[in-house]
Amino acid sequence: MQYRTHTCNELRLEDAGREVRLSGWMENIREVSASLAFVVLRDFYGSTQLVVEDEELLKTLLNLNKESVVSVTGTVRERASKNPKMDTGDIEVVPDTVEVLGKCRYNALPFQIARSREADESIRLKYRYLDLRNPEVKKNIIMRCNVVAALRRAMTEHGFLEITTPILTASSPEGARDYLVPARKHPGKFYALPQAPQQFKQLLMTSGFDRYFQIAPCFRDEDARGDRSPGEFYQLDMEMAFATQEDVFAVLEDVLPPIFAQYGKYHTASTAPFRRIPYLEAMETYGTDKPDLRIDLTVKDATELLGDCGFGPFENAVVKAVPVTGFTATRKQIDKFCADTEVVSGNKAYWFRVDENGEIVGGIAKFLQEKKDDVISGLNLVPGTFVALSAGKNGAAQKTAGVMVKKLGEMCPEHMDAERYEFCWIVDFPMYEIGEESGELEFCHNPFSMPNGGLDILQKAAAGEIDPLSVTAYQYDLVCNGVELSSGAVRNHDPEIMIKAFEMVRLGEEDVKAKFPAMYNAFCYGAPPHAGIAPGVDRMVMLLAGEDSIREVIPFPMNKNAQDVMMGAPGEVEPRQLEELHIALVQPEE
C-alpha cells in the first residue's frame, strides 16, 4: 500500500534492519533533547515506538499536536529497553522521513484518548470519533463485527436465507411508539419505520420460503435504559415454516453457545438443551421472568407463615422471603441493600436474621418471637441465615423479591457463579392480562401468538367457562444471565383463531383486516404453521463484552434522551422542507 508497508502492530524482532513505512496517529511524544525524542504511533491494529534522532524531523513533529496523522519511513531496530506490554515492544523504528497526512488543529483534546472511558458520557458521545480511537472502546465494536459475522455463518449453515425487509412500511400496533415518516407524494399520510420485521417475515413464510433470517434494524420511539438503546437497535431476526417451539429452540441452542464460548468475557456457556421454565414458575421461584440462573437463591412464599405476625405491612398482603446462608453483612450494608431494593422495585424490603444460637434477631425480629420455631422450620432456616422479605399485592411482592435475589447474589460470591453464561427459556406466557391504564383485557405479549389449546381454549374463555387470564400462549423468551435476549412465538397462522383472539380484546374481524390487511389476507390463501424469534444483537454483544451499558457496544449511539449530540439530531429543518411535506408545526403551549 502507498501509505504503509506494515501496520503499527505488525513489526517484530525478526524485522530488524528492514526499511518500512508506517502511518497512523501520533499518540504521544516525549522530547529528551534537541535531537532525541520518543513517539508512539497508533493505528487501528496497535502501536509502534518511533525514536527520532534527527533535529529537523523532531522540529516537524514537535510542531504537530497530538492525534495528528503522519506517515514515516525508517529502519527497524532492536529496542534496548523492551516493553513487554506492547506487541511491538521488542523493536522501534528510526524515521528518515516524516509526511504529515492530517493535522490535528486543536492543542487540547476533550479527553485523553487512552482514558476516554473516564470522561463524562455526554462528552464521549459528542466526540465519539475520538472516543472510538481508544483501543478499549474499539475492541467492543470489533467484537460486534465478529459476532455478527459468526451469526451469519451459523444461520446460513442451518439452511436459513438472509432476506432484507422494507424500512419504510405502514404503522401498526406492536407495543411501542412508531417513528413516522411523512409521505411527500401523499399529503397527510405517513410511512412508519418498522418496530420489527414481524409481519414481513411471517408473510415470507406464507410465500413459500422455509427459513429466513436477517440482522434486522428495528426502530422504536421508547426511553433508554442500561440494556436498551432508544431509537434504533438490531436483532438476529429469524422465522421457520412448518416449525414448532422446539424446532426454534434447537436452532438457537446450537447457534449461540459456541459464539458465547468463543467471544465472551466468560468462556463457559450453557449447552443444549437450555432449561425450560414456565412463566408462572419463574415469577414464583425467582420473582422475575428474567432469572439469572448463576445465582442459587430462590423465593419462598411466606404469606401463611408471616401474614398474621402482627407486622402492619404483612397484613392482608402476599409475603415473599429470600433466605441467604452465610450472609455476614454489616447493618450499614443491610440498610443500603434495603434502600437500593426500594429504589429499583418501588417497594420496601424487610429482613431478619437467624443468629448462631438459633435466635431470630434484627429487622422485624420482634414480631416473630412468638412463632419463632414455626418460622425457622417453615422456611428451613439454619443458624447464620439472613432472610430478606417483601410484601404487597402478588405482583409487587414478586417483583421486589426478584430484585432482592439479584442484589443478594451480587453481594454474596458464594451464591453466584458469575463467570459463565447461563441460558434458559421462559415459556407458557399468559396470552392476556388486565391493562394497568385501561383496566380491561389486553394482549400480554404478542398478538400474533398461537394460544395453547388453539380455537377451543379461546371459545371456552369467551363463553366464560375458563378465566381468560389462565390462557397461555406458545410464547417464549430467551434469557441469559438475567438479561432478556429475545422474545419469540409460534405464530397464529389461522384466520379463524386470529379473529377469536382479537375478539377477546374487543377488536372484531374488520379491525383485524384494517390493522393487518396483508397478513390477514395472506393467511386466507393458506399459511403453513410457523414460528420464530429475534435475539437482540446489541444486548448479546453487551453480555459478551461484560459491559453494563448497551451504548458501549454501539458504534454511534444516541444518549438517554434519544439525541445524537455528535450529529445534532433531532434537529430543525428548513420551512420549505415542511411545505413540501404538507406539514405545519404547532408549538406546545407554555
Give the SS3 label for residue 263.
Answer: helix
Burial, 61: exposed, middle or buried (Cβ in 10 Å; 0-12, 13-18, 19+)?
buried
Give the CATH number, domain containing residue 372: 3.30.1360.30
Residues 305-312, mean pLDDT to the nearest whole number: 94
Cα–Cα distance, 363 to 361 (Å, whole number): 7
Q: For residues 552 and 140, is the Cβ–Cβ distance under 8 A? A: yes
> Do both 50 and 92 map to the same domain?
yes
- Domain C-terminal end among 85, 102, 119: 102
Residues 30-58, mean pLDDT to the nearest whole number: 95
Looking at residue 587, what is its pLDDT?
A: 83
> Do both 93 and 153 map to the same domain?
no
Cα–Cα distance, 194 to 178 (Å, whole number): 8
Band of residue 112 on the pLDDT scale cut at 50, 70, 90: very high
Handedness of CA 83, 84, 90, 92 (dihedral sign): negative
> Do both 558 and 435 map to the same domain?
no
280 domain-assigned: no
334 domain-assigned: yes
User: Lowest-pLDDT range, 182-186, 278-282, 395-399, 515-519?
Assistant: 515-519
586 domain-assigned: no
Say whether pLDDT at 174 is over 80: no
User: Lowest-pLDDT range, 19-23, 132-136, 443-447?
Assistant: 443-447
Q: Give per-residue pLDDT as tens, 240-291.
A: 999 999 999 999 999 999 999 999 999 899 999 999 999 999 999 999 999 9
| High-pLDDT (> 70) share of the chain, % | 99
Range of the domain at 446: 430-472+494-526
> Do both 263 and 303 map to the same domain?
no
Residues 432-442, mean pLDDT to the nearest whole number: 88
168 domain-assigned: yes
> Do both 148 and 251 map to the same domain?
yes
> Do both 506 and 568 map to the same domain?
no
Half-sphere exposure of 391 (CA within 13 A, CB side): 20
Looking at residue 226, what is its pLDDT?
A: 64
Stronger pLDDT, 60 or 227, i.e. the higher one: 60
Say whether pLDDT at 237 is over 80: yes
Cβ-proximal residues to 539 (8 Å cutoff; 6+ apart), any chain: 227, 483, 484, 485, 550
> Do both 142 and 206 map to the same domain?
yes
Cα–Cα distance, 426 to 251 (Å, whole number): 16
507 domain-assigned: yes
The 318-325 sheet, strands edge to edge: 300-301, 318-325, 385-392, 350-354, 360-361
Looking at residue 228, what is its pLDDT?
A: 75
> Do both 324 and 216 map to the same domain?
no
54 domain-assigned: yes
Say whether pLDDT at 230 is over 70: yes
Residues 303-320, mean pLDDT to the nearest whole number: 95
DSSP strand pairing (275-278 vs 423-427) = parallel
Nearest Cα residue to 28 out of 52, 54, 53, 2: 52
> Do both 521 and 551 map to the same domain?
no
455 domain-assigned: yes
Say whether pLDDT at 65 is over 90: yes
Question: Cell numbers of 76, please?
Answer: 527497524
Q: Give per-residue pLDDT as tens, 558-568.
A: 999 999 999 99
Place of cell 468462556: 267
Average pLDDT, the chain: 94
> Do both 509 and 540 map to the same domain?
no
Looking at residue 180, what is its pLDDT?
A: 94
Say whether pLDDT at 412 is over 70: yes
Give the CATH number, domain containing residue 207: 3.30.930.10
Number of domains in the chain: 4
Cα–Cα distance, 268 to 261 (Å, whole number): 6
Give the CATH number, domain containing residue 68: 2.40.50.140
Nearest Cα residue to 397 out of 280, 288, 277, 290: 288
Say whether pLDDT at 465 is over 80: yes
Q: For residues 354 and 381, is the Cβ–Cβ distance under 8 A? A: yes
> Do both 305 and 408 map to the same domain?
yes
> Do both 218 and 331 map to the same domain?
no
22 domain-assigned: yes
Place of cell 531496530: 77
Q: Give φ, ψ of 253 to 5 degrees.
A: -70, -20
Cα–Cα distance, 452 to 250 (Å, whole number): 20
Question: Cell numbers of 146, please?
Answer: 465478529
